[in-house]
Amino acid sequence: MDFETQSQKKKYGAGVFGDVYGILMLPKEIEIEKDVSSPFELRFQVPDFRVAIKDILRTREAGEFLSGALAGAMTKAVLAPLETIRQSIEVSKWVSVGKQTKSRSYKTRMVVGVGSKHISGTFVEIIEQQGWQGLWAGNAINMLRIIPTQAIELGTFEYVKRAMTSAQEKWSQTESPKVQIGPVSLNFSLSWISPVAVAGAAAGIASTLVCHPLEVLKDRLTVSRDVYPNLSIAISKIYKNGGVGAFYAGISPTLIGMLPYSTCFYFMYETMKKSYCKSKNKKSLNRPEMLVLGALAGFTASTISFPLEVARKRLMVGALQGKCPPHMAAALSEVIREEGLLGLYRGWGASCLKVMPSSGITWMFYEAWKDILLGEKRLL
């Protein structure tokens, strides 16, 4: 009997509790193998993310974000020579008003050592001293900022505009919420809100909040090249001196200036686009029309928001000189007190010459890339 029990224990496996033997019969499919080197075996398979990533890239939102990034990069590449010439002329003016110490260092930082005060003279001097590649000096730093900025701005604009339009349509199909307070009845409706205006404001806020650290890095790398020779050192020093908050220095005036500009820019472009298409009885604009309407939208937005830009620059200069106005309203008052109302538009012409081609070319490239990436024959 003992022999049979022992043999059964060897064959099937048994659990011993005092003098009682419990025999566990295991089927062949899950029979325990005794020659396994480890009692535990952990098996896992890495999920294949390629399909998920490909699906994400095929979404409309991804196409719009990518179109914005490509449009920003191409616009900056096309307009880089004009930006280089403009900055060089500004440096020359700094020298002429007697700020030799700051302007010379600034001139070195801008990588363009020219002294002419005119566009044609500056263009010739840059070509003579640095060759054609000198017209694109410092463009890599601008690309670092403009690509994510335009991607987030244009992508956010399209997404919020669709979401707001959809919300308005759904709300109009059902009875909107009402609040009764005694004899007063409040009807909450979204019909009076412009989806384009809301989307434009959201686009400006989102791009500013996300990309403002890149703007700070660009300014430090451009203005203080001797202190911040490269990107990694700039990031390290800024974080060491002020933590994460240092990357958002000046965010408040930037947001205040960006909000009306972004709202007006997108609202004017969409409004002019719809009005023009309706008057011409056409469904879409061609490329030259996009260029012109984009430039006009940039001109209008820049004109409306330019006083805030002047006040923002006054805050920046005041911070460097140690006598910064306490807030935006004080900066505006200071400009009016010192220079009159016309002082709020000092430099407006030069700003429009920069904004108009940039706005027009950006819209033209953006719509072209959307047609390529989101059309029937998609590349993604």
Radius of gyration of the chain from its Cα atoms, rounded to whole angstroms: 32
Nearest alpha-carbon partner for 358 in 147, 71, 154: 71
Residue 212 identity (one-letter amino acid): H
- Structural contact between residues 238 and 247, judged by C-beta atoms closer than 8 angstroms: yes
Residues 6+ apart with CB under 8 A from 63: 370, 373, 374, 378, 380
CA distance 271 to 165: 15
Q: What is the pLDDT of residue 69?
A: 94
Query: Which CA distances in Å does 108 have to 90, 121, 175?
Result: 13, 19, 64
Other Cβ atoms closer than 10 A to 40: 5
Vertex 128 angle, CA 127 and 132, to 5°: 25
Other Cβ atoms closer than 10 A to 335: 21
Q: What is the pLDDT of residue 180?
A: 67
Beta-bridge partner residues of 185: 180
* Residue count of the chain: 380
Q: What is the pLDDT of residue 190?
A: 67
Question: Please, what is the angle between helix 100-109 and helix 60-96, to 10°?
Answer: 140
CA distance 34 to 251: 68
Other Cβ atoms closer than 10 A to 79: 18
Vertex 71 angle, CA 69 and 72, to 5°: 65
Beta-bridge partner residues of 20: 17
Q: What is the pLDDT of residue 43?
A: 62
CA distance 106 to 134: 16
Q: What is the pLDDT of residue 260?
A: 92
Vertex 356 angle, CA 157 and 71, to 5°: 50
- 380 residues of the chain, pLDDT tens digit each: 444 454 544 444 444 444 444 444 545 444 444 455 555 555 656 666 676 666 676 788 899 999 999 999 999 888 877 776 666 655 544 444 444 434 333 333 333 344 455 566 666 677 767 777 667 766 777 788 889 999 999 999 999 999 998 888 877 766 666 666 767 766 666 677 889 999 999 999 999 999 988 888 877 776 677 787 888 888 888 888 888 888 888 788 888 888 999 999 999 999 999 999 999 898 888 999 999 999 999 999 999 988 888 888 777 666 555 566 667 788 888 888 888 888 888 888 878 888 999 999 999 999 999 988 887 544 44
- Structural contact between residues 141 and 50, judged by C-beta atoms closer than 8 angstroms: no
